[in-house]
Amino acid sequence: MAETRFSDDEALQLADALIQKPLVWCEEAPVSSDLPVLNFVKFRVFYRAVKQYLSIILLLRAGRWEDALVLARSLYELNMNLSEINCSSDPEQAATKFVRFGKFQLMRLEQKRLEDQLRDERLQAQPSAEAINECEQKLAAIASTLDRDFAEFRNPKRKWQESWSGVSVETLAQRLATNTGGQRGESDYFVFRLGSLFTHNTPGSLFLVLPLDRDTADWNELRAAFDKAGRDGSRQFLHEASMCFVDIVGMASGSIADYDRQWFDDFALPLLEKI
């Protein structure tokens, strides 16, 4: 697909302005806090958000709206997670659970790697008993650690949870909408769902502009339609990404050295309305 340039340069210039101070702030270490885990998580999320938002700007400026949309989806989920922690009755405990789930995920990832390694070794023409025994011992140790230290992440059916919160992305989206003034039942995550199509390269992303009554299309016609979809939609999801970014900076503000509340109230929020 031919790359197209984003049609509204002014919006990208405003996004450039929005990220300038946060880019400086993220180079400093987080401030100390009586809630060390919460503070650490907030700053880590803030740091990730700065890098992702910058990447979105760069991709849109290069006309790569499909890739930028994937990152907009990721930034939205980052916002949902931090919002869920921040709105918890015990944010420090929620942040601790969030970090623990990260450790759990990495251990499960290592478990899957070892399972593949063990399977491959057993399929060898001359399997190594030593290699098989080593894999089995490591897998047994991981299983024991998971059962002992991470039992909280099993659901009532004894299956491992897919998310740290134990609920779906849609439920988190509805909670976020409620916490930010949305109507009852509103989720406010159209961009997330659209971005999910592109993240997973589903048929919906590959044939986003294909007419409903056709299974094929002239390639130049399809490419032109994709380019137009990018030009028409990029401004919307830049706005959504900017809202998520500003939300994250606001929630993480207590962890940021040299944070300027005036930047948020007098600069970021008014600028956000123009993007």
- What is residue 172's predicted lDDT score, i.e. its pLDDT? 85
Alpha carbons 268 and 275: distance in angstroms, whole number: 11
Q: How confident is the model at residue 212 (pLDDT cuts 50, 70, 90)?
A: confident
Kindly report, residue by residue over 81-112, the tens digit of the pLDDT: 999 999 899 999 999 999 999 999 999 999 99
pTM: 0.89
Give the C-alpha distances (Å, rounded to integers) separating 233 from 3, 18, 52, 53, 74: 15, 20, 19, 17, 17
Kindly report, residue by residue over 42-70, the tens digit of the pLDDT: 999 999 999 999 999 999 999 899 999 99
Average pLDDT estimate for 127-155: 95
Domain locations in the chain as residue ranges: 9-89+165-272
Angle at CA of residue 213, ends 210 and 216, nearest 5°: 50
**Phi, psi for 86 (deg, rounded to 5):** -65, -35
Q: Which amino acid is at 162?
A: E
Per-residue b or e along 108-119, where b marks 16 or more CB atoms closer than 10 Å to that residue's CB: eeebeebeebbe
